[in-house]
Every structure is written in structure tokens, then in C-alpha cells.
Chains A and B, each alone.
Chain A
Amino acid sequence: MSDNLLEAIGVSKSFPGVKALSNVNLQLGRGEIHGLMGENGAGKSTLIKAITGVYPRDNGQILLDGVEIHPTSPLDAEALGISTVFQEVNLLNNLSVAENLAIGRQPTKKTGTLDWKKMNEDARRILQKFEIDIDVTELLGNYSIAIQQMVAIARALELDSKLLILDEPTSSLNLDEVEKLFKQMRRLKEEGHSIIFVTHFLDQVFEITDKITVLRNGEYVGLFNTADMTKMDLVSKLMGKEIDELHEFEKLSKEQKHKEHQEVLLETEKLGKNGYMAPIDIDIAKGDIVGLGGLLGSGRTEIAKMLFGLVHTDNGGLKIKGIHSKIRSPKQALMNQLALCPEDRKEESIIPDLSVKENIILALQVKQGWFKPLSAKKKEEIAQKYIDLLNIKTPSSEQAIKNLSGGNQQKVIVARWLATNPNVLIVDEPTRGIDVGAKTEIQKLLLKLSGEGMGVLFISSEIEEVVRCSNKVYILQDRKVVNELHDDQINEQQIMHAIAAKGDS
């Protein structure tokens, strides 16, 4: 038996116009948690797909237990003892939670027919490990992305494979849930399993991994011992340059806060919907970045959907620039100079087969009306502007968006809504799956835009991010606004405290 469980030697993979991997190595020991790091588009997911047989590799060797393997599908890889959670939550919304956990290896009765009762019991038991208590017979699609992500992880864990691969499993999870996941990962490690873990959260990498492999632009940068590295080391390895941008950033965010009273752009008056969201009174003024803090299911996304006309409210109303307005559809919201960058990019945002350019100008075109098409030149201009601004990694603006890496797709969606140049921009988890550098870029951009008078409603499960950007934070509990923090009150402790406080307000 060789020392390493898995070894990739000189693996290359090209797509038309893109060299996604060139000569990449990976060495994974037994009982090791291995971080696979790199910026958006560095080739992490491609490497994982090469290992699991989603794509054939062009060159190089992949050895499992010292033996070269050539899986041709994830099913194949599973048979070899590799189970994977791919980057986008890839489960089946039309089936129940329990079935999603079991499908492919469902329990059967003696007669050979499916044993639904046992399947549901198993599902409850499996989710118990993650302290998730939900109705497992409900369709998966009716649950939030976070729950879906947990279910996907639980499914892969349950396979009990010698190698578990997790491609950005924590992108939609909050701290609590991440801890639950880490607990399970540590247990697996103790039992001798190996794990490849991809994330853009530096804290998480340092907390859980033993070793780190860094990729940059499809090339192998190196293999490092986590214990020997500092965060700054890692960031400079990732980006290929030393950075002091964080410093610059501190300055920028400080200037933003503390500003005098401004015109209110959007104001709700007891806006709510029975059984969905208790009546809320919030306002967003010119230049505001308003954060929403709260646990999963506390109603953050719900507020965004109500404001944008995606769900119909049944009480209260809202004012735009002091004028009572009705927003019954996203189109009306757009016309009222609102924009919403939604949480679920796969289901709600991207149009996979359209080009990056078309995806960027989509909302702007709707706003203009289809009878006044943007000229080809104008489209290209806008697309190019955002590709540069957000550093979107794509061979050209004509590339189909589905061929972009996850993080780069997210940037395209953010660009789509920025391009509409709204008065109020609602962003729901805008930096999900985005690398450190680009995350800073997006935050900087939001601060800049708010400096120019845009109002921003900022939803994120990363408290750090909320703290950095917002000058006002509403705290949510159980679909109610329970507290409001301003400027100096906004720090991590305060927010955590407010979120956890027993709701008696």
C-alpha cells in the first residue's frame, strides 16, 4: 500500500479556449483533511471533476491506493470509494428529503420492493447527526439552500467512502452549521477517512485542514502544511502577489459610516404577509448600506422577496422616495429603480446557455423594454465594463455562462443587477462562493456605490461582512424584526448578542 490515498500527477484538462488545469499535482494522505484552495476559476472544481470521472482528463495520472484509476462517471467513482458533494447543490427538488438522502441505495423489503418507512426513519437518524429536525417527507425543493446543502453533505457522508470530496460545502452555511459539519469531518478523519475540502473561507481552512494545495490559473502552486502558514502567506499564494488591500479597505469602510441625514429611498409601513413575515418597518436612505442579521430561516430572504414583488404581501405598504407605491411583480420593482440579486444563483438567476454578455444585460434590457433593444456595441461595452470591474474570468463575453466557474457565475449575476443602476439594490448573499480578492472587490464596489447615493440592502450569513459594510443593521428572529443597530453599535459581538437574545421586544 502506498503512503498516499490519492495522488494526482501532472493532470491537465482543457476546454475550448480555456486551459483549466495544466500539470496539476495533488497528494492526499490517509486520515487527512486537505484544503484545495485557489481563486475563482483556478481549476478546483475541474480537478475534482477529473478525479470523479465527470470529465476525462487530457493528461496525467490519478492514483488511488497506488493504482491508476479511470472513472467515467460519479457512479464509477463511488464504486471506487470516492464520494463527492459537487459545488452547486446537485440534488432533486422534486423528491422528498428522505429520498434525496437514499436514492440509488434505498432500503428494500424482503420482497425487493422499496421500504419507504425505513427510508424515512434512516433519513431522520442521519439528519439528527447534524441536529436538523425537519419533515423528511417534504419535497427538498421547499427548503432553503442551506438545508439542501446539509442534505447533500449528509448524503455523501453516509456513503462511508474512504475519500470524501466537498466542493464549497459551506458557502451557504452559517457558523453553527459549519461547526456541525466540522464535527462530522473530524469524526471521519479519526476513523481514517480522507477528505478534500474546498472553500474560500480562510478561517475554515485554518481550523480544519492538515495540508493545503494551492492552484492558481489552472497551475499547481504548491503543497503546504497548514500549521506552517499564516493567513497572509496563504492569500499571497492564492493571488500570486502581496496584498495590503485589506488595510486600504479598513480606511474605506470607516469613511463611509457616520453621515448626516439623507433622503429616504425606500420605506416600509407594516409591510407583511400572514404566516410568512410579521409586519416590518424598515427604511433605506440614500447612501445607506443596511444589513440584515439573523439565523437561517429568520426571514432575511423573505424581506428581499417582499420588497421585490416576488411574494404578494397582504398587509401594510411601502413608500418609494416618500410616495406610496405598489410593487406586485419584479418588473414593477425594476421600474421603481429597485434591483434584487437573489440568493439561489442556479435556480433563480443564471440562464445557463446564454452568454456572459446576455446574462449581464438581461435585467437592463427588461427595464428598457424589449422594443428598445440595446445596440450591439452598447451591450458589449457594458459587459466588458463589468468583466473588468469584477475581474470575471472568462475567455470572452460570448462564453456560455454555464462554462464559468461557480464564483465567476456569481460575479456575472451581481453585474446584471449593478448594470440596471438602481436607486436601491438588494443583494442576497452576493459573495457566496466568491474568492477573497473578489469579495473585497464587491464590498468595495458596494461601498463606492452607496457613497454615490445608492441605497443597499445587504443580506449575508457572514457577520463579518455585514459589520464591515453596513451603517445600520436590522436583527431578525422568527420572521420578525426585533432590533436595530446603528453605526458604532455594529460589531460582531453586538450582532451575535442581538441575534441570540430572547425575543421579548
Chain B
Amino acid sequence: MISAAKLGFSRRNLPIIATMTVFVVLYMIGGMTFRGFLTNRVFFNLLTDNAVLGITAVGMTFVIFTGGIDLSVASVVSTTAMIVAVMTQAGVPNLFVIICAILFGTLLGLVMGFIIHYFDAPAFIVTLSGQFFARGFGYILSLDSVPIQYDFYQKASSFGIRIGNGKLTLPAIILLVVIALGIFISKKTKLGRNIYALGGNEQSALLMGLPVGKTKIIVYTMSGFCASLAGFVYTFYTLSGYGLAAIGLEMDAIASAVIGGTLMTGGYGTIFGTLIGTLIQGVIKTIISFHGELSAYWIKIFVGGMLLSFILLQRVFVAGSGKRD
């Protein structure tokens, strides 16, 4: 049944193909409507402007692969930025600041992973408390916006490699590296495959002798790490820390994953899809800002519609995959 096998193969790739198509179509719409849209500059800005979201979304996607969820990421982004700001202001050496900032999210993820695994606690609740904790910790550090006045951050924020009229900025580079690492882990390492296995069926994975607990803990740690890294990158834009920053980012990250073809129930999806999911949200934002008259709320409406149609598409995809001998 060669032909059927081929059919099955393309069906498996259907979600990602659909996502790519949507991205290209949206990009073309932008290109045809607005002058100066189809330029390197706009494209690289797309990467730059969505780096924080994209980096967070990679960690989130791994968590969703296992069938879990991480609601803490947005507050980790904001609090990491706050840690950087407060520590820098206090005159702590920069290298130490960076280490602390990255450790914050990573350790939080580790702890949440432990709790989720050892107490068999629902990820939704555990990461929700993680969210409150991180947010609260940020407010304790400072209620106001704290500016970052340190050479490194000024430089980092203006750094970039010129390509045509575009600029490959540091956030964009970090985003691409994280995506590449994510793809590598998901496809080329045992860890990555165990993550998919866990999402496919936890009980089976256990009975097949896979390290279920370890994998779970690692995944939340990875997500915490990504969120912290994103928080660090966030400071390049804002050059400040602010307790109310990045509110709702966790939902955007989930949207990136789902639009990119990741199934919320776990086991299916790609990191590359998450990049495209992020960029689709970015294109919508760009189009709306080019348009100039539509308010920013339209972004949410479009992204919402997009999300809904992708979920429906996935339903069709799942329902349509019949068994055969």
C-alpha cells in the first residue's frame, strides 16, 4: 500500500503545511497592500520584535509536547527583567547578574517539575502558583519601573548585522539559535523523543521503560530556562524592569505552539511550527501597525480567529486519520 503510505505521510504533515501556507498568504497580503512590506527590514524586524515570544514559546512547546502546560512563563519573563534591572542598579557585576537572572527561571521550572512529578500534581495548578510566585517576587523587588543603565545593555540593544536594508539583531540571533537547538533536541536526541513519548501516552511510556519522571522534570526546567532567557532578551528592548511587563505572554506562547500545529493533548507537533506560529502572530501585528487606523485590539481578534481555525483544522486532521491493517 505504497500510495496509502504516502498519503498518510502527507496527512501527518498537514498541520505544518497549513501553517506555512497561512504565513505565506498573510505575508503576501501585507506585501500587496503596503509598500515597503516585502523588504528585508520588515522581515528581520519580525524576528526581532517577536524574539521574546518565540523563545518563550519554544520552552512552552516542549511542555505541551508532554501533554503539560506552563502558565508561569510570562511572569518569569517580567521578573527576570526585573532581577537584571535591580541587580544592575545595585552595582552587581554583570556576569553574575546574567547568571542569577537565568538561574531564576531555570530553578523555578525545576522546582515546578519536581512537584508535578513527585506529587503527581496537575501542571495547570502548579505552574499557576509558579506564575503568582514569580509575579509577586517581581513586585517585591520593585513596584516601579527600574531603568537599566549599563553599557552592556545599551550595546546589546543596538547591536546588529546588516543584511541589505535589514538588521539581524541580537534578539533575532538568539531566537534563531534557540529554535535551532529546539529542533535539534526534538529530532535528534533521546530526550526529545522521550518528550514526545510522554505526551503520546504516559502509562505506555512508563511500561516501555522510558524515564518518565526525569523527562517531565527536564521539560519544565527547559521551559523555565527559555522564559528566563526571553526575560533577559526583553531587557534589550526596554532597558528597564517592570513588574507588570509581559502580561498574557503565556497565552501568546500557547497560541504560537497551537497555530504551529502542536496538539494541546501532547505527542504531536514541531518546534519549527512554533516559529511559524510566532511569526504569523507577528505578521498580523505588523499588518495592523502598517494599516495605522486599526487599533491594537484587532491583533487579538485576528489571532483568536486564527487559533480557532487551526484547532478546527486539527480536529479534522485527527478525525480523518483512519486505522488500517
List, in ascending order, chain B residues with CB within 8 A of A93's CB. Answer: 200-201
User: Smallest distance from the beta carbon of A71 to chain B beta carbons, Å?
Assistant: 11
A93 to B268, CA, bound (A): 10
- In the complex, whether A146 has a CB less than 8 A from a CB of chain B is yes
List, in ascending order, chain B residues with CB within 8 A of A90's CB. Answer: 201, 203-204, 207-208
Given contacts A90-B208, A91-B208, contact A103 B201 (CB under 8 A): no
Q: Which residues 42-92 of A have a CB within 8 angstroms of B?
A: 54, 73-75, 77-78, 84, 86, 90-92
A280 to B200, CA, bound (A): 36
- In the complex, whether B325 has a CB less than 8 A from a CB of chain A is yes
List, in ascending order, chain A residues with CB within 8 A of B26's CB. Answer: none
List, in ascending order, chain B residues with CB within 8 A of A114's CB. Answer: 187-190, 193
A73 to B214, CA, bound (A): 13
List, in ascending order, chain B residues with CB within 8 A of A297's CB. Answer: 324-325
Q: Do most interface residues of chain A lie in helix, strand or loop, or is the interface mixed?
A: loop
- In the complex, whether B199 has a CB less than 8 A from a CB of chain A is yes
User: Smallest distance from the beta carbon of B229 to chain A beta carbons, Å?
Assistant: 23
List, in ascending order, chain B residues with CB within 8 A of A275's CB. Answer: 4
List, in ascending order, chain A residues with CB within 8 A of B194's CB. Answer: 103-104
Do residues A75 and B324 form an inter-chain contact, with CB atoms below 8 A? no
Report the nearest B residue to A300, measured CB to CB.
B325
A160 to B200, CA, bound (A): 26
A78 to B194, CA, bound (A): 17
Do residues B188 and A142 form an inter-chain contact, with CB atoms below 8 A? no
Do residues B196 and A86 form an inter-chain contact, with CB atoms below 8 A? no
- In the complex, whether A94 has a CB less than 8 A from a CB of chain B is yes
- In the complex, whether A126 has a CB less than 8 A from a CB of chain B is no
List, in ascending order, chain A residues with CB within 8 A of B200's CB. Answer: 92-95
Q: Which residues 152-210 of B have a CB within 8 angstroms of A?
A: 184, 187-190, 193-194, 196-197, 199-201, 203-210
Given contacts A90-B208, A138-B9, A142-B8, contact A113 B324 (CB under 8 A): no
- In the complex, whether A368 has a CB less than 8 A from a CB of chain B is no
Q: Which of A75, A84, A144 contacts B323 (CB 8 A)?
A: A144
Do residues A103 and B324 form an inter-chain contact, with CB atoms below 8 A? no
Do residues A75 and B196 form an inter-chain contact, with CB atoms below 8 A? no
Do residues A104 and B189 form an inter-chain contact, with CB atoms below 8 A? no
- In the complex, whether B95 has a CB less than 8 A from a CB of chain A is no
Do residues B325 and A103 form an inter-chain contact, with CB atoms below 8 A? no
- In the complex, whether A182 has a CB less than 8 A from a CB of chain B is no
Given contacts A73-B206, A78-B209, contact A103 B323 (CB under 8 A): no
- In the complex, whether A360 has a CB less than 8 A from a CB of chain B is no
Q: Which residues 280-325 of B have a CB within 8 angstroms of A?
A: 321-325
Do residues B193 and A106 form an inter-chain contact, with CB atoms below 8 A? yes
User: Smallest distance from the beta carbon of B61 to chain A beta carbons, Å?
Assistant: 15
List, in ascending order, chain B residues with CB within 8 A of A362's CB. Answer: none
- In the complex, whether A137 has a CB less than 8 A from a CB of chain B is yes
Q: Which of A54, A92, A139, A143 contacts B205 (CB 8 A)?
A: A92
Binary per-residue interface labels of chain B (63-80) against chain A in the complex, 1 for a CB within 8 Å, 0 otherwise: 000000000000000000
Do residues B208 and A142 form an inter-chain contact, with CB atoms below 8 A? no
- In the complex, whether B12 has a CB less than 8 A from a CB of chain A is yes
- In the complex, whether B211 has a CB less than 8 A from a CB of chain A is yes
A95 to B200, CA, bound (A): 8
Q: Which of A86, A99, A141, A147 contacts B207 (CB 8 A)?
A: A86
Report the nearest A residue to B188, measured CB to CB.
A113
Q: Which of A73, A99, A139, A146 contacts B12 (CB 8 A)?
A: A139
List, in ascending order, chain B residues with CB within 8 A of A138's CB. Answer: 5, 8-9
A138 to B267, CA, bound (A): 15
User: Smallest distance from the beta carbon of B193 to chain A beta carbons, Å?
Assistant: 6
Do residues B199 and A94 form an inter-chain contact, with CB atoms below 8 A? yes
List, in ascending order, chain A residues with CB within 8 A of B210's CB. Answer: 75, 103-104
List, in ascending order, chain A residues with CB within 8 A of B325's CB. Answer: 143-144, 146-147, 296-297
A155 to B205, CA, bound (A): 13
- In the complex, whether A239 has a CB less than 8 A from a CB of chain B is no
Do residues B196 and A94 form an inter-chain contact, with CB atoms below 8 A? yes
Binary per-residue interface labels of chain B (1-14) against chain A in the complex, 1 for a CB within 8 Å, 0 otherwise: 11011001100100
Q: Which of A73, A91, A113 contacts B204 (CB 8 A)?
A: A91
- In the complex, whether A135 has a CB less than 8 A from a CB of chain B is yes
List, in ascending order, chain A residues with CB within 8 A of B4's CB. Answer: 275
List, in ascending order, chain A residues with CB within 8 A of B267's CB. Answer: 92, 94
Report the nearest A residue to B2, measured CB to CB.
A135
A86 to B187, CA, bound (A): 28
A324 to B276, CA, bound (A): 49
Beyond known contacts A84-B207, A114-B189: 19 more, CB 8 A cutoff = A73-B206, A74-B206, A74-B209, A90-B201, A90-B207, A92-B200, A113-B184, A135-B1, A135-B5, A138-B5, A138-B8, A138-B9, A139-B12, A142-B8, A142-B321, A143-B325, A144-B323, A144-B324, A155-B208
The 25 listed contacts between A and B (C-beta, < 8 Å) are A74-B206, A74-B208, A78-B209, A84-B207, A86-B207, A90-B203, A92-B197, A92-B204, A92-B205, A94-B200, A94-B267, A103-B194, A114-B187, A114-B188, A114-B193, A135-B1, A135-B5, A138-B9, A139-B8, A139-B12, A141-B323, A142-B321, A143-B325, A146-B325, A275-B4
Chain B residues within 8 Å of A, Cβ to Cβ: 1-2, 4-5, 8-9, 12, 184, 187-190, 193-194, 196-197, 199-201, 203-211, 267-268, 321-325
Which 3 pairs of residues, A with B, have the shortest CB-CB distance? Answer: A297-B325, A94-B267, A94-B200
